[in-house]
A and B are shown apart, each in its own frame.
Chain A
Amino acid sequence: MIRYLLRRVGISLITVAGLALVVFLVVRILPGDAAAARLGPEASPEDIEALRAKLGLDQPLIVQLGDYLWGLLHGDLGLAVSTGRPVADELFARLPATIELAVAGLLVALVIGFPLGMLAASRRGRASDAIARVFAVLGSSMAPVWLGLLLIFGLYSVARIFPGPVGRLPIGMPPPEHITGMYVLDGLLTGNFAATGEALRYLALPALTLGLGASAAVLKMVRSAMIATAESGFVRTARAYGVPGREILWRDQLRNAMLQVLTAIGLVFGFLLGGNVIVERLFSWPGMGRVAYDALGSNDLELLQGYALIIGVIYIALNFAVDLLYGVIDPRIRLGGRSS
């Protein structure tokens, strides 16, 4: 187990290093001059050159890469060209919002996708399976924007069940005391239940938008994992020995299916974190996705770099966490063992 973990850690670190390099290079290929964009159309060429020099944008690529890597090791992601604030501040201030939304979206995806996936597996070949799979196709092909607009129209504009797309809290409500930056959690931890309640209400629509799309993926993966385990040898043994169906489901099928589904959940979560950009913009959700969107428009290299790096690192960390969980759940990994 230890060796397994160490190996995973090593691979993760190498991946992060590679990511940093790739991010750096890709971002520099984008057209558009960040210094000119920052200073605006009134700026003189001299001022633009001065800013470029100040930001180190006129240095050879190798020098810029060296500065960048050095800064990374010190936790310095540079200064955002467009606002002058440190990139780390800009992004980490908004990270909790993105994480909160991604977690909520994941929960929605699991709550919808898991039971439906199990249902489809158990009713394989029958009507409910077909319906579930049609739902899966629809869910994964619906553009989040369209779905989001539909939900806003139906559940806010018309039915007034959920609040409008102003962000994480009602206009004028101060956020709860900052502990994690996730309002639902912070509200609970500080006894500010009003804030938790409102945060949940405002989370609902964007989480539904994200989650419905992702639930299709969860549904398919749960379904196929359950079908695969249903056809496995040990399930056959259990059936042969008359173990009750319910027990087979939970003890034999689900636990073994989880191994496959876990990887998928990690992937889905990573996607939700990165695919937030459009949904954040639609719902005025103040997360990292919006920053990235604006950074793209103003060609803020530093911000884009930082964003890509952070999302990449989160993804790598997620994969590592999934590997870790594997190690915990699967005794074949945890204990090693003979192959014959």
Chain B
Amino acid sequence: MTRLSIESLSVEVESSGARILDDVSLTIGAGEIVGLVGESGSGKSMTSLATMGILPRGLRATSGRFLVDGIDVTDAANRSVSSRFAMIFQNPRDSLNPLMRVGAQIARMVSLHQGLDRKAAQAEAVDLLGRVHIADPAAAARKYPHQLSGGMCQRVMVAMALACRPSLLIADEPTTALDVTVQAQILDLIVELVEQTGCGVLLVTHDLGVVAETCDRVNVLYRGDLVEHGATAEVFANPQHEYTRYLLESGRELEVGDGAA
């Protein structure tokens, strides 16, 4: 089953009419990890934000439909809750409320998406922390984000995502800000998740190494246009578009020098 289908998404800047995304379409199947690559400014983050329904101020989707598990959710008021999306972000610690304990933050999402009462939600939160392989999850639940490492915070985000029992997980540069070793761990976690739950993953990144490691299929974005898509191995071996070729060549070098932020 197709977890997510984006049809002809176009996004522009409200005031100037400049095009951020132009007629982008992609699909993600159950249990699939699909990559969305491009350099900064290509519009890849906007794609994920548009999908979640949280475009920043000043930007507007002029066209596009979203179908989740076959159901059109384009006009749905609260896409996340109603459509079982979840998202994890590039800077995990910044994505968590510094004044709330992480267990409480996860429990909040549990309550919201699973309708459990407070105590049950808290227990579920500890459970989820265990599922993302955090040692001593009960103790960890009582910690504040600043007391956890970057990797741990990203696990917390994954746990939060799990709380939604998502059909689709959007991971926007999930490992860019992490150490190389931790990167591998998080990617493994995501893969494990996909196997366990059968959800789809849209993995947005500029890092081709990550794509090579995890993605079944890949879409290439260049300045708002989707220029190439296909199975990862094929695209990498036989890039059709010039830009893809350019990325592959420079990407490898980029990857070496790049690494954890």
Contacts and interface: CB of A to CB of B under 8 A. Distances in A.
Within 8 Å by CB, do A and B touch in the complex? Answer: yes
Interface of A: 124-125, 231-234, 236-243, 251-252, 255-256, 329-332, 335, 337-338, 340
Given A237-B87, A237-B96, 11 more contacts: A236-B95, A239-B54, A240-B80, A240-B85, A240-B87, A241-B81, A242-B78, A256-B99, A331-B146, A332-B144, A335-B144
Contact of B98 (A234, A238, A340): A234
Contact of A236 (B89, B98, B146): B89
B87 A232 contact: no
10 contacts: A233-B95, A234-B97, A237-B87, A238-B97, A241-B113, A242-B80, A331-B99, A332-B98, A337-B144, A338-B146
Contacts of A256: 97-99
B81 A242 contact: yes
Contacts of A330: 98-99
B95 A234 contact: yes
Given A242-B81, A338-B149, A340-B149, A233 B144 contact: no
A251 B226 CA distance: 39
Interface in B74-119: 78-82, 85-87, 89, 91, 94-100, 108-109, 112-113
B78 A337 contact: no
A234 B144 CA distance: 13
Given A243-B112, A256-B99, A234 B80 contact: no
A94 B45 CA distance: 61
B191 interface: no
Given A232-B94, A330-B99, A241 B144 contact: no
Given A237-B96, A243-B112, A331-B99, A337 B146 contact: yes
B147 interface: yes
A236 B89 CA distance: 10
B149 to A, nearest CB: 6
Contact of B94 (A234, A239, A252, A340): A234
Contacts of B108: 243
A340 B177 CA distance: 11
B4 to A, nearest CB: 15
A312 B226 CA distance: 64
B108 to A, nearest CB: 7
Contacts of B85: 240
B100 to A, nearest CB: 7
Contacts of B149: 338, 340
A34 to B, nearest CB: 53
B95 A335 contact: no
Contacts of B160: 237, 241
Contacts of A252: 97
B52 interface: yes
In this complex, the interface size class of chain B, counting residues with CB under 8 Å from chain A, is 20 to 34
A330 B147 CA distance: 13
Nearest to B83: A242
B147 A233 contact: no
Contacts of A238: 97
Interface in B112-146: 112-113, 144, 146
Given A239-B54, A241-B160, A338-B149, A255 B99 contact: yes
A160 to B, nearest CB: 48
A78 to B, nearest CB: 47
Given A241-B80, A242-B79, A332-B146, A233 B99 contact: no
B150 interface: yes
B50 to A, nearest CB: 12
A233 B54 contact: no
Contacts of A231: 56
A232 B91 CA distance: 11
Contacts of A232: 94
A340 B146 CA distance: 8
The 5 A-B residue pairs with the shortest CB-CB distance in the complex, in nearest-first order: A233-B94, A242-B80, A242-B81, A233-B95, A337-B146
A335 B147 contact: yes
A240 B54 contact: yes
B199 interface: no
Contacts of A335: 144, 147
Nearest to A334: B144
A241 B164 contact: yes
Contacts of A239: 54
A314 to B, nearest CB: 29
Given A243-B108, A243-B112, A236 B97 contact: no
Question: A236, A241, A255, A337 — which one has the most chain B CB atoms within 10 A of its CB?
Answer: A241
Nearest to B96: A234
Nearest to B82: A242
B99 A236 contact: no
Nearest to B48: A240
A2 B57 CA distance: 42
A124 B58 CA distance: 12
A340 B145 CA distance: 10
